A and B are shown apart, each in its own frame.
Chain A
Amino acid sequence: MAERNGMVEKRGAGLWLTHLGLIIGVLFIFFPIWLAFVASTVTQADIVRPPMPLLPGDQFFENYGRALTSGVNAPVATMLLNSMVMALGIAVGKIAISLLSAFAIVYFRFPLRKLFFWLIFLTLMLPVEVRIVPTYEVIANFGMLNSYQGLILPLIASATATFLFRQFFMTVPDELAEAARVDGAKPMRFFFDILLPMSRTNIAALFVILFIYGWNQYLWPLLITTDPDMNTIVMGIKQMFPSGDDTADWPVIMATSILAMVPPVLVVVGMQRLFVRGLVESEK
């Protein structure tokens, strides 16, 4: 009968239990990251004699300084730069080529239009993971191993982004294009002056998703960057573990893991509304 009172939303003891359940969930999500953060602020000696402390130590500047300036194989500052170039290159490149091709497919009638559309659609079925060996050979033949072009270009074509923009362009009122045509505006003028400004929110939402996608790439940089100075940070962490029985430099490795998380997490938290929107739209 008590149920009648609160009906669906919980009050009193039930409310506290609901909060408790959620807080346990949040702690479960946070715990691994908290532990990594603690490990990045203590000495190696604190870690190799388990159990390690559960509260941060005083080695924060020492460990992060060491990671950023020397790292293990390459300075982490270099790897951060590589990741930034790769993530921005993929996000900007994908958005640019997708905007152009969606514009062409929606606003023009030209021969082979249907064929091009289906060719783009089919790329949905070819994630990089299923074509790694031959794609690697293509990049090697172009001499693009250990280069930014090699990191970016194979990941840049995307059916998802093209479809998103196509869908959005379909909702743009026809009157706008008509008015532009009557005024004698060239198609590209219409694209830059009207369509592009109208797509701002969509572009921003997609940018958030694509930046994270690019930043978090692992397999592809692992294959094509054999030079430590071209490693991205996400794939570089694994390279910091010694082969064989040596003890890993845990404080530096954990500082690097934290540094690898900071940029994409800032993007998600800082642009939360755009992120949620981008996620929902790009899955449609």
Chain B
Amino acid sequence: MEKRVTFKGIWLPILLVLPQIVITAVFFFYPAGQAVWQSLFIPDPFGLSMQWVGLGNFEYLFSDPYYRASFVTTAVFSILVTVVSMGVALYLALLADRLIKGAGAYRTLLIWPYAVAPAVAGVLWLFMFNTRVGVVSWYLGLLGYDWNHVLNEGEAMGLVVVASAWGRISYNFLFFLAGLQAIPKSVIEAAAIDGAHFWTRFRTIVFPLLSPTTFFLLVVNIIYAFFETFGVIHTITSGGPQQATTILVYKVFSDGFVGQDLGSSAAQSVVLLFLVSILTVVQFKFIERRVHY
């Protein structure tokens, strides 16, 4: 797509794109290049010289059981966050879509947690499940369940998943509701007249027609779980216990800034870079498909 009518000039447009290009070069491409470059070296302990190791950092990285475990953790975490937040959102959107009046009011009530930062969501859920003062953990104790996410790996994972999914429900709800409202009512009514009950209608008509929205949300939510949940993990578990909640992004941070292992952290950045590229390409494919529907 190109404009037919354009203005003349060469220096003016270059001047206009310059701010963005300069910032992109200085804060995006140069650091990304540095990450690739640094991933091929090991700095000496005093940071005075660098030793070329080729792909040594990567070999070391993938032979590290903690790093391999971090992949599994990230996969489990992302899938759980995506399923929980999309499941709850779809359920609520289906209910809201059945209302003739009031869907708008529920939308207002449900969308604003989008504005709550992941790190703040983390603090809220940490407070509820705190082992000493948490209300929910106290009532669980009454029921005879001894909640301790500081020691129990499964409970730690459960808590960061729920805290991450909680804030995301709004976003998914908004897109699901829009998708549902775009389905012509006549199609569903025709099926109802033919005697198809709610579950049959959902399975055979609503869900297939909703699939572009679902695919889109699937990709966007996985990207969210990969990169934007750092705040939740850092506030609630700091990656523990025994690295049970150390997702890849958290590991780049903890190895690079806490552990000061720059070569390994750079190599991890490169691996992430690779993963984001794949996710971005997938996202574009799906969005293109969404447009064609």
Contact = CB atoms under 8 A, between A and B. Distances in A.
Interface in B186-234: 188-189, 192-193, 197, 216, 220, 227, 230-231, 234
A183 interface: no
B109 interface: yes
Interface string B109-133: 1111111111111011101100011
Contacts of A55: none
Contacts of B293: none
Contacts of B138: 50-51
A237 B188 CA distance: 49
Contact of B6 (A28, A109, A253): A109
Interface in B129-176: 132-135, 138-139, 166, 169-171, 174-175
Given A129-B272, A174-B4, A268 B197 contact: no
Nearest to B117: A216
B42 interface: no
A110 B13 contact: yes
Contacts of A107: 3, 6-7, 13
Q: What's the dominant secondary structure at chain B's contact region?
A: helix
B276 A125 contact: yes
Nearest to B1: A170
B74 to A, nearest CB: 13
B133 A124 contact: no
A260 B35 contact: no
B265 interface: yes
B224 to A, nearest CB: 11
A137 B188 CA distance: 58
Nearest to B113: A29
A276 B113 CA distance: 13
A154 B24 CA distance: 8
Given A26-B110, A157-B27, A280-B178, A100 B127 contact: no
B28 A3 contact: no
A108 B9 CA distance: 7
A119 B24 contact: yes
B269 A260 contact: no
Most-contacted residue by chain B among A32, A101, A156 (CB, 10 A): A32
Contacts of B280: 124-125
Contacts of B234: 218-219, 222, 238
B20 A162 contact: yes
A85 interface: no
B6 A108 contact: yes
Contact of B34 (A19, A100, A137): A137
A178 to B, nearest CB: 5
A190 B133 CA distance: 61
A129 B10 contact: no
A257 B231 contact: no
Interface stretch (A5-13, A62-70, A72-80, A197-205): A5-13
Contacts of A219: 230-231, 234, 253
A8 B35 contact: no
Contacts of B273: 125-126, 130-131
A169 B189 CA distance: 40
Given A10-B98, A32-B166, A216-B118, A108 B12 contact: yes
Interface string A33-55: 10110010000000110111010
Interface of B: 1, 3-7, 9-10, 12-14, 16-17, 19-21, 23-32, 34-35, 38, 88, 91-92, 95-96, 98-100, 102, 106, 108-121, 123-125, 127-128, 132-135, 138-139, 166, 169-171, 174-175, 178, 185, 188-189, 192-193, 197, 216, 220, 227, 230-231, 234-235, 249, 252-253, 256-257, 262, 265-266, 269, 272-273, 276-277, 280, 287
24 contacts: A8-B98, A9-B100, A22-B95, A25-B110, A26-B109, A35-B128, A97-B19, A97-B23, A104-B14, A110-B13, A116-B17, A124-B280, A129-B227, A129-B249, A130-B35, A130-B249, A131-B31, A132-B269, A156-B23, A177-B5, A237-B119, A265-B112, A279-B171, A283-B287
The 6 closest A-B pairs by CB, nearest first: A216-B117, A134-B31, A134-B34, A264-B115, A108-B13, A104-B16
